[in-house]
Amino acid sequence: MEKILGEIAEIVGSENVFSDEVECLACSRDMSVHQGIPDALVFAKTTEQVSAIMKIAHREKIPVTPRGSGTSVTGAVLPVRGGILLDLHQMNNILEINKKDFYARVEPGVICMQLNATLAKDGLMFPPNPGSEAIASIGGMVSTNASGHRAVKYGTTRDYIKGLTVVLADGTIIHTGTTA
C-alpha cells in the first residue's frame, strides 16, 4: 500500500495523503452509529485528481469511499473494508451562478448554506435544506438525495440536478444531463 500511496502523493502532494492510525481513526465515523476505518485518507482538490486516484485504485483493486462533510446518518461515507477514504471537502468552489437559466455549477464540497447565502444575493435559493445544511456538502446531498422541511413544497435534491460531472470507478470522467 505504501508504494501506491506514494504514487497517489505524486498526484495530490504528500501533504494530502495519510495512512497513520490517528488520521484514519479521526475520519472513521460519521453522524451514524457505524464505524469504518480506512487504510488511507486522501484529500483531492480537482476532478482530474479524483480521476487519477480512481485509475490507480481500480488497477490495484483497492476500494475507495468518497467523503464530503461526513454528515451522513447512514454510514454512507464510511469504508466497509479499509481502502482509501477520498475526502472531497476541499473541492468547494461555486463555479457559476446563471440567474437567467436558474442554475449553479458547484463542486461537491460546497456547503449547502454557503450556496444558499450566495444565491440569496440574487433572490434565489437551493430549496433542499437538510437539518445539517450548515455543514452538509452538495456532493453528499446529491449522493443521498437529501431533503428537509421544504421537500413537501419544493422537492428533494434530485429535483434540482440538471447535470453532473462524474468520475467512475475506473477513473473515466463523464458528463450527464442537460448540461453535458
Amino acid 179: pLDDT: 66
pLDDT at 180 over 70: no
**Would you list the domain boundaries of the chain?**
2-87, 104-177
pLDDT tens digits along 32-84: 777 778 899 999 999 999 999 999 999 999 999 999 887 777 767 777 888 99
CA 121 to chain centre: 25
Phi and psi angles of residue 99, each rounded to the nearest 5 degrees, phi first? -70, -35
Lowest-pLDDT range of 41-50, 118-127, 149-158: 149-158
* Contacts for 100 with CB less than 8 Å, ≥ 6 apart: none
Amino acid 178: pLDDT: 79
C-alpha–C-alpha distance, residues 157 and 115, integer Å: 13
C-alpha–C-alpha distance, residues 92 and 110, integer Å: 4
pTM here is 0.90
Topology (CATH level 3) of domain 104-177: 3.30.465
Q: Given pLDDT bands bounded at 50, 70 and 90, which one contains residue 26?
A: confident
Lowest-pLDDT range of 12-16, 37-41, 167-171: 37-41
H or E stretch covering 2 = helix 2-12
C-alpha–C-alpha distance, residues 84 and 41, integer Å: 6
Burial bucket for residue 9 (CB in 10 Å: 0-12, 13-18, 19+): middle
* Contacts for 64 with CB less than 8 Å, ≥ 6 apart: 53, 54, 57, 83, 84, 85, 86, 169
C-alpha–C-alpha distance, residues 168 and 44, integer Å: 15
CATH code, 2-87 = 3.30.43.10
CA 58 to chain centre: 19
User: Whole-number mean pLDDT of the chain?
Assistant: 91
